[in-house]
Amino acid sequence: MKKILLLLSLVLFLSKGAPACEMGLHEWELAFDYSLPISGPIVPAHEFLVLSIRFIPSELTELIWVDEQNRSTAMVDWLKNALPNWTASLPFRPTKADDLGKIKPKPTTAILKTTGYSLRVVLFTDKLSNHRCKQLVITQEGRLRLAMPAAPKPIAENYPCRSWVSIFFFDTPVPSKIISVTAFPVRNTNSEIYLNEKFITELFYHELVQRRPSDYMSPYPDGFPLLEF
């Protein structure tokens, strides 16, 4: 679990992504799928992206994050300053639901609560490489509830939030055999943050991984099969 947290948080500190790697041809098969419920987002990347799209700076000046266990808010408070969104720099106040009555929100105060969150670890293997090329996908998904009771027009909305990191590797996930790492959202988009071009070239040369035809259209917008939660 600590390794997963470290990997997800490291994604946020990378300054820019590398060009996307779309060279390999794969036919993915599900090999492993494990889901764990969590109290809230470990890395709040999509949550703050949703807020920055929904509002302009004059409409939102303070965030109150409701968390009964104070676990997810501790991670959010620690990681949010690494995010590029302007909403991540807003004053941030964690609280419990029972204490909301003591708070007098301003018209520009948003009350946030996360529900139904899970952390999912999925492993795909590539049939075309005799299952030697693999893809490890770690996703975080849930819903963000948003309320602004003191706004001129009170708001009560909820949004699906999903963040993920995908690691391509060959045979074993050791550093020398990692092909690429892709994540969403990194600077608000799906971005390849690491690419081992020398290694993928060697795999093509030895015909261990099939090269993608120039006119190929991938059926996977995110680079991996759709995951149903």
Question: Which pLDDT tens digit goes with each residue over 23-40?
Answer: 677 889 999 999 999 888
Residue range(s) defining the domain that contains residue 160: 2-210
pLDDT at 229: 61
pLDDT tens for residues 156-170?
999 999 999 999 999
Distance CA 146, CA 222 (A): 27
* Interval 101-155: pLDDT, tens: 888 889 999 999 999 999 999 999 999 899 999 999 999 999 999 999 999 999 9
Q: Report yes or no on 69 lying in a domain.
A: yes
**Nearest CA among 56, 51, 160 for reference residue 114:** 160
pLDDT at residue 13 in the model = 40
For CA atoms 15, 74, 148, 163, the dihedral sign is positive
Q: Burial-class residue 41 by CB neighbours within 10 Å (0-12, 13-18, 19+).
A: buried
In a domain, 178, yes or no: yes
Q: pLDDT grade, residue 93 (50/70/90)?
A: confident
**Count of domains observed in the chain:** 1
Please report, rounded to a whole number, the percentage of residues in the chain having pLDDT higher than 90. 41
Each residue of 95-111: pLDDT tens digit? Answer: 888 888 888 889 999 99
In a domain, 215, yes or no: no
Residue 225 domain flag? no
Residue 206 falls inside a structural domain: yes
Could you tell me if residue 229 is inside a domain? Answer: no
Q: For 193-227, write each residue's pLDDT tens digit.
A: 888 989 988 888 888 888 877 676 777 777 788 77
Higher-confidence position of 86 and 84: 86
Percent of the chain with pLDDT strictly greater than 70: 81
Report if residue 98 sits inside a domain.
yes
| Residue 222 forms part of a structural domain | no
Q: Which residues of 208-218 are buried (b: 16+ CB within 10 A; e: fewer)?
A: ebbebeeeeee
pLDDT digits (tens, 9 = 90+) for 44-78: 889 999 999 999 999 999 999 887 665 556 566 66
Q: What is the pLDDT of residue 7?
A: 44
User: Can you tell me the distance from the alpha carbon of 187 to that of 139, in angstroms, rounded to the nearest whole number?
Assistant: 17
